[in-house]
Amino acid sequence: MVSTLALNLSGSLSLHTPLALAGASSPYLPWIVASILIVGGLVAFGFDDVIRLHWRRIWAISSICQTESLRRRVLWVTPLAVIGVMVVAQLSRPGDPQDAIRQTTKFCLFASAMLVTVTAVILACTNLPREIENRVIFTIVTKPTTRLEIVIGKVLGFARVSGLIILIMGVFTLAYLELRTRYMVAQLRTQLAAEPADSPLRPMLQHYVTAGLLGTRSIEWPVDVQVFARPPQGPTRWMAGGQGQYFIVPFELSPADKELLTQAAQKGKVFITTTLFVEQHAPDEEESKAIKDMGLLKPKSSRVLGPALPTTAPAGPQIPPPEVAIRLLDESHRAFSGSADMGVGQIVDMEAPKDPAAESSGHLELSPELVARLVGAGRFYTQVNARTPATEYGASEHPVALYVPGAPLIFPPTDPSNPSHNAAPVFYSFPGRGGMRLTGHADGKGAVAAYRFRNVAVDTGGRDTVSLQMNLTIDRSGDFDARTGSLSEAVVEVINRTTGESSGPLRFSPETSRVSPLDVPVKFVAGGNFDVLLRGLTPGQWLGVQNESVSLVTADRSFVFNLAKSLFILWLLSLLVVIIAVFCSTFLSWPIAVVLTLLILLGHWGVDQLGDALKPGGGRNTALEFQFQDVSQTIIVSKGFDGLASMLRFISAFLPDVTQFPVMEDIERGVSIPPQKVGSSLGAVFCYGLPLLVFSYVILRKKEVAP
């Protein structure tokens, strides 16, 4: 379990010091506080020991710790870890050779982390209490050796043992991966030679043979991804009805807006108004079925706010009038009470404009209670869902506003330099198992996922093409294509926003949990500003797309150097574990020290895993699940749970975050580990480990360990 947490891949960059400073605005504040604790503790309690500090005595103490650890045969565990990795790697069932190598890399690093973490905890927690119990430390403290040198020497000694274990496992990892790679590449060459010229597998096999399976690449990710009904062109963005598409616009009310809304809610009315272009077409078979299932052709009686909009296709009994659904969300993107109907939103009919080419509008009246909640929140989001099938809705710059009769419209703030204060609508589709759903159409005119890449530096190395990596999920399978032998087809178009050139449609066959490489001519990504448009071509199929589904390989890197960076991060983690274990062993017996070390390591991660359950208000939900008959019991349980949650959140802010040591996150995907992540690990050791090392010295200095 310790290694699982050590290898947690969330990539958090926050630094947690003994004074945590949760919510601190300055990124330098943890470093400043850690420096004050280190310097202040040494100056206040051990200025003489700092002056007497000598590296030879420290190295001698560390050598003794290392020798004693090796005499306990801790290295004998490494062959067991090696055998375990080889057995698990052979029993695994990867999707393809590339996945096999990445799984093997994961197994090797996981075994290394498990081995070095457990070893560090046991050795560091048992050493000092055992020496005090056996009176071995009497000999040391009576010599001209300071308590500071003892603490630093022991930490360094166990860090040397951890480094030796990591070095052994690193050599094994590199050798084993190299052997597996050579064997698999030879098999791929044989398979490629036997594959037909028109086989859809040939591009992928050729890529693996040419680029290798053990490569490391620098990856650039898109700025964002949005889902549209049409490729984005001009100021208007379109979403398709009946396909789960919607857009979100953020609102932030000024003091004047709050006063106006409060007065209007008390004396008049407040509306949310949406203004959209609407185009309808004759529904296809699937859209007709959706219209029938949703009952959109039935009379709407009281829900009709205006006449049906004239459509671009002749109106008929099969085409329902256009309507949208509006939801109001808080900052956690949860619906405000009273703003949602069955979790979908309040249905609003779009009123026909006088000019058929103009925008249509729809209005939703807000209750006084809901207005009060919006004013109290200050910041909220408006979600507009495209509801009617066979209908497309176009949103321009300001598609949503708050409307008070007799007063100017209240628009969201517009600040292009600050994405969180930008009123431009952001388009999504409802999520599936693997991200937002992208519906496939055989004609290539279905929904499109638009990925924006900006200011990307591409190192082509003299090549004519660069590689896009497509990592999609198939949420719902479509029909099998006997012509291509593929269950799924998709198409990508790359548009250079600097030159305006388009690559045209590039077809590929996506597979769940498998990266599909796609070579693109360099000219379409030159300048670093380009868009990647993705569509599904298989009818009846949903592709799951998210921001990480598309990436660009910008340069090739050394796998050996990348592995070295990963192992260095693992060693830094072991160094932090050793410091915590030594700290606990200065004032506790070794069994309790082991338990406390694990609690300190796992505490912050455990609270993070509880997530929303510990947020304010969670106690009431917990109490309601027990269905107490007595109201007083409900109040006691609710307040008790909230109090416990507050205490856990407070304590976790003082504990280290092991997710700052992303040992496997990048190397498992074949991505070069950026220097920022190595720096984050170093920062965690400095901001938490070194102050704790000073605390260990202070406790040991005050502790009576010799007669």
DSSP characters for 19-32? T--TT-S-TTHHHH
> What is the pLDDT at residue 307?
39
Domain count, the chain: 3
Evaluate whether residue 629 is within a structural domain. Answer: no
| Residue indicated by tokens 């087809």 | 489
Evaluate whether residue 647 is within a structural domain. Answer: no
Task: List Cα–Cα distances, 660 to 150, 576, 579, in angstroms.
Answer: 28, 11, 16
Q: What is the largest CA-CA distance in the chain?
A: 101
Contacts of residue 61, Cβ cutoff 8 Å, sequence gap at least 6: 140, 145, 149, 150, 152, 153, 154, 156, 157
Task: List Cα–Cα distances, 31 to 564, 674, 689, in angstroms.
Answer: 26, 21, 12
**Can you tell me whether residue 220 is helix, strand or coil?**
strand
d(CA 702, CA 439): 69
State whether 456 and 416 are in the same domain: no
State whether 112 and 175 are in the same domain: yes
d(CA 551, CA 220): 6
State whether 341 and 388 are in the same domain: yes
> What is the pLDDT at residue 304?
36
Query: Around 277, how many Cα atoms within 13 Å sit in the side-chain half-sphere?
Result: 13
**Domain edge (last residue) among 367, 397, 424:** 424
Evaluate whether residue 327 is within a structural domain. Answer: yes
State whether 177 and 262 are in the same domain: no
State whether 567 and 665 are in the same domain: yes
State whether 78 and 132 are in the same domain: yes
First to last CA, the chain: 41
Task: Assess contact for 594 and 125: CB atoms under 8 A.
Answer: yes
> What is the pLDDT at residue 260?
92
Radius of gyration of the chain, Cα coordinates, nearest whole angstrom? 31
Q: If we measure between CA atoms, which residue out of 477, 489, 569, 592 comes closest to residue 534?
A: 489
Report angle CA 284, 286, 291 to the nearest 5 degrees. Answer: 90
Evaluate whether residue 626 is within a structural domain. Answer: no
What is the CATH classification number for the domain harbouring 486?
2.60.120
The 8 Å CB, 24+ separation contacts for 588-595 are 588/129, 589/129, 590/125, 590/126, 590/129, 590/130, 593/125, 593/126, 593/129, 594/121, 594/122, 594/125, 594/126
**Domain edge (last residue) among 377, 393, 424:** 424
Task: Assess contact for 425 and 228: CB atoms under 8 A.
Answer: no
> What is the pLDDT at residue 616?
63
> What is the pLDDT at residue 341?
46
State whether 169 and 282 are in the same domain: no
d(CA 47, CA 41): 9
> What is the pLDDT at residue 479?
52
State whether 581 and 683 are in the same domain: yes
Task: Assess contact for 274 and 384: CB atoms under 8 A.
Answer: yes
| Residue indicated by tokens 């506790």 | 588
**Which residue segment(s) compose the domain that 319 sits in?**
235-424
Evaluate whether residue 201 is within a structural domain. Answer: no
> What is the pLDDT at residue 179?
93
Reported as a single tens digit per residue, the pLDDT across 573-587 is 999 999 999 999 998
> What is the pLDDT at residue 647?
86
Evaluate whether residue 128 is within a structural domain. Answer: yes
Evaluate whether residue 280 is within a structural domain. Answer: yes
Q: Which residues in 577-590 are b (16+ Cβ under 10 Å) and which e?
A: bbbbbbbbbbbbeb
Evaluate whether residue 618 is within a structural domain. Answer: no
Residues of the chain predicted below pLDDT 50: 1-25, 300-317, 339-343, 480-485, 707
Helix axes 55-71 and 97-134, enclosed angle (nearest 10): 110
Task: Assess contact for 389 and 241: CB atoms under 8 A.
Answer: yes
State whether 386 and 522 are in the same domain: no
**Domain edge (last residue) among 424, 443, 478:** 424
Structure token digits, residue 272: 């949310």
State whether 443 and 590 are in the same domain: no
Pairing label, strands 323-329, 379-386: antiparallel
CB-CB neighbours of 654 under 10 Å: 17
How remote is the C-alpha of 16 from its chain's centroid? Answer: 19
Overall residue count recorded for the chain in this entry: 707
Q: If we measure between CA atoms, which residue out of 429, 275, 268, 303 comes closest to residue 361?
A: 275
Q: Which residues pair with 205 in a beta bridge?
A: none
Strands (E), 602-642: none
How remote is the C-alpha of 148 from its chain's centroid? Answer: 41
> What is the pLDDT at residue 420?
52
State whether 517 and 499 are in the same domain: yes
DSSP conformational letter for 234: S
For the chain, give percent helix, strand, coil, nearest 5: 45, 20, 35
State whether 457 and 395 are in the same domain: no
DSSP conformational letter for 671: B
